[in-house]
Amino acid sequence: MTHPEIRLRRIYDEPGETEGTRVLVDRIWPRGISKDQAGLDYWFKELAPSTELRKWFGHDPKLWAAFKQKYRKELEGDDQRDKLKELAELAASGPVTLLFGAKDPEHNQAVVLREILEEML
């Protein structure tokens, strides 16, 4: 099987021409972006970190390793597993772009989700 094409992009960036399926993975709708501007195919808010975890992490790179571990634990729930399977199926069928609102492109939930999807596929 070929390696899945899973891209990461801030929702505030202009969409590229070859992004494939665009999936927002934030729990809260990003400020200042209309649904038309977002150009989403899916919004999987069930895959976003819990409010408690998101606030605890605060995108502090020093907490990254602990965040990843806690977030992966949250994704073990039945609803999250079902959504992960759905997302994996999308990724297996063509390019997928995971969209996030965080300013830090290296320390956010989309990075963890891509790792998990690559492990699944």
The predicted-structure confidence for 37-57, as pLDDT tens digits, reads as follows 899 999 999 999 999 999 999
CA 34 – CA 37 distance, rounded (Å): 5
Position 2 pLDDT exceeds 70? no
Position 1 pLDDT exceeds 50? no
Domain ranges of the chain: 6-120
pLDDT by residue (tens digit) across 53-105?
999 999 999 999 999 999 999 999 999 999 999 999 999 999 999 999 999 99
N- to C-terminal Cα distance for the chain?
8
CA 101 – CA 103 distance, rounded (Å): 7
Q: Which two tokens stand for residue 77?
A: 């729930």
100 within 8 A of 12, measured Cβ to Cβ: no
Position 14 pLDDT exceeds 90? no
